[in-house]
Amino acid sequence: ETGVTQTPRHLVMGMTNKKSLKCEQHLGHNAMYWYKQSAKKPLELMFVYNFKEQTENNSVPSRFSPECPNSSHLFLHLHTLQPEDSALYLCASSQAHTGELFFGEGSRLTVL
């Protein structure tokens, strides 16, 4: 496999559920990102990990919890979400500080 792979591609969950999004990159990059994409809005940066260390938390509610066990894997743990959290969640990777992000295809999340 090459590139950035995200699973699941689609997820429907209730407000009391706990689920996780997974991202894996095969590009040898040392930085990984979570972005939220909502309709008619700019891509919103949520979290950044450089060399497995979290370097950015863009005022994201605590119901979103990231985890980066190594430089190739990134998770986003979800619990007690709200309907307004429904969006496309995009994972990306890059060499740190280059700005050349490679995105996965996203996980479409619907919160009922």
Partner 1 sequence: QQQVKQSPQSLIVQKGGISIINCAYENTAFDYFPWYQQFPGKGPALLIAIRPDVSEKKEGRFTISFNKSAKQFSLHIMDSQPGDSATYFCAAKDNQGGKLIFGQGTELSVKP
DSSP conformation class of 74: E
Q: State which residue, 78 or 90, has the beta carbon closest to partner 1.
A: 90
- Residue 89 CB, nearest distance to partner 1 (Å)? 10
DSSP for 45-60, written as a single string: EEEEEETTEEEEE-S-
Task: Examine residue 23 and tell whether it contacts partner 1 (CB under 8 A).
Answer: no
Does residue 60 interact with partner 1 by CB under 8 A?
no
Residues in CB range of 29: below 8 A, 6 or more apart: 71, 93, 94, 95, 102
Name the one range near partner 1 by CB under 8 A: 14-22, 36-44, 64-72, 74-82. Answer: 36-44
Q: Does 42 bind partner 1 (CB under 8 A)?
A: yes
Q: Does 102 interact with partner 1 (rule: CB under 8 A)?
A: yes
Nearest distance, CB of residue 90 and partner 1, angstroms = 5
**Phi and psi based region of residue 28 (left: phi greater than 0; alpha: psi -120 to 50; beta: remaining):** left
**Least separation in angstroms between CB 33 and partner 1:** 8
Residue 83: strand, helix, or coil = helix
